[in-house]
Amino acid sequence: MNTPNLETALKHASGLIDQKLGEFLVVPDAPEGRVIEAMKYTLMGGGKRLRAFLCIQTAKLFNVEEAHYARVATAIECAHSYSLVHDDLPAMDDDDMRRGRPSLHKAFDEATAILAGDALLTFAFEIMADKQTHPRKAVRLDLISGFSKALGARGMVGGQMFDLMSPGLALDAGALTRLQKMKTGALIEYSVDAGCIMGQVPDSIRSALTAYAHDIGLAFQIADDLLDVEACQDDIGKTPGKDEASGKVTFVSLLGLNRAKDQARILVEQAIGHLENFGSEADALREAAHYVIIRGH
């Protein structure tokens, strides 16, 4: 598929985030500098910045200033990065590889990985609270409030807990959908919502855009499950076949390959439908909807 808008927009997002991180993450010449080195290692690990992209592209629909959305998108990437670092720990998913490189606790050590995750999460809130993020206090507070809910025990962390409990549970498709909405969907949805919050848009527009994010979040997860079954290690930069080995229920194990693929395609169409009130300015978001099921990461 030809995706010129998406490619440009993803490069734009990556460039902005790298620039902001270069500004933010200065390693002090002191023993505690190690934790900032670790934060840099994981943040500069070559992720596709999908969440940053979603936040930025949504913000651009409403003419939000770059100075603002660049900071918010960076905070979101910090939070995403923290979740990966803690998720990879031996006591959690125990993954030694991430994006084709040793995961943080392998490149550094477990204690540093725990602390770097903690510092990334904390730093994300520090960025959001700063007045440079948005001149309106109400906007900053809405950003922080939504962020904390997306990340907390009823959002991402709750989803991770649910996921850890899942091998003992006979999940059906409804329960698995609920799990994934929390574990990966909440932050993806928030990334788009953050753009709406900065844009100070009416609720109807906000609902349409978060519905778009909801659908691509779920499509993304189905694609991830498909990738785990179909791909080899080189393709995904981490250990494949882990889901099956861990006895976890996935959309593929529940629906089978073909129905899972159909479901992902339906979600993508549905996601694009939610963008019907936008013109070509939303083309990158439309292309992204297709993109998430081509490549899960």
Contact between 95 and its own copies per CB under 8 A: no
Q: Kindly state the number of chain residues that form the binding site for its own copies, as judged by CB under 8 A.
A: 56
* Nearest CA-CA partner of 284 in 83, 23, 50, 122: 50
The residue range among 35-43, 54-62, 194-202, 273-281 that interacts with its own copies, by the rule CB under 8 A, is 35-43
Residue 130 in contact with residue 59, Cβ under 8 Å?
no
* Nearest CA-CA partner of 170 in 253, 232, 104, 227: 253
The residue range among 87-95, 188-196, 253-261, 280-288 that interacts with its own copies, by the rule CB under 8 A, is 87-95
Contact between 160 and its own copies per CB under 8 A: yes
Identity of the amino acid at 145: S
65, 66, 110, 269: which one contacts its own copies (CB under 8 A)?
110
Place of tokens 């990065």: 81
Angle (CA) 220-49-150 rounded to 5° is 65
Residue 114 in contact with residue 86, Cβ under 8 Å?
yes
The residue range among 6-14, 150-158, 211-219, 233-241 that interacts with its own copies, by the rule CB under 8 A, is 150-158
Contact between 32 and its own copies per CB under 8 A: yes
How far apart, in whole angstroms, are the C-alpha atoms of residue 191 and residue 58?
Answer: 9
41, 123, 212, 251: which one contacts its own copies (CB under 8 A)?
123
Contact between 216 and its own copies per CB under 8 A: no
Which residue's CB is nearer to its own copies, number 161 or number 205? Answer: 161
H helices of 25-63, in order, are 33-43, 50-61
Minimum CB distance to its own copies, residue 262 (Å): 28
Q: Which residues from 126-145 bind its own copies, rule CB under 8 A? A: 126, 128-131, 137-138, 140-141, 144-145
40, 99, 149, 265: which one contacts its own copies (CB under 8 A)?
149
Residue 80 in contact with residue 160, Cβ under 8 Å?
no
Q: Which residues from 220-279 bind its own copies, rule CB under 8 A? A: none
Handedness of CA 30, 34, 39, 43 (dihedral sign): positive
Residue 282 C-beta-side C-alpha neighbours within 13 Å: 20
Which residue's CB is nearer to its own copies, number 61 or number 151? Answer: 151
How far apart, in whole angstroms, are the C-alpha atoms of residue 34 and residue 217?
Answer: 34
Count of CB atoms situated within 10 Å of the CB of 237: 17
Residue 191 in contact with residue 171, Cβ under 8 Å?
no
Minimum CB distance to its own copies, residue 168 (Å): 9
Which residue's CB is nearer to its own copies, number 12 or number 86? Answer: 86
Q: Which residues from 48-67 bind its own copies, rule CB under 8 A? A: none
Q: Which residues bind its own copies (CB under 8 A)?
A: 28, 30-32, 34-36, 39, 82, 86, 89, 91-92, 109-115, 117-119, 121-123, 125-126, 128-131, 137-138, 140-141, 144-145, 147-149, 151-154, 157-162, 164-166, 169, 182
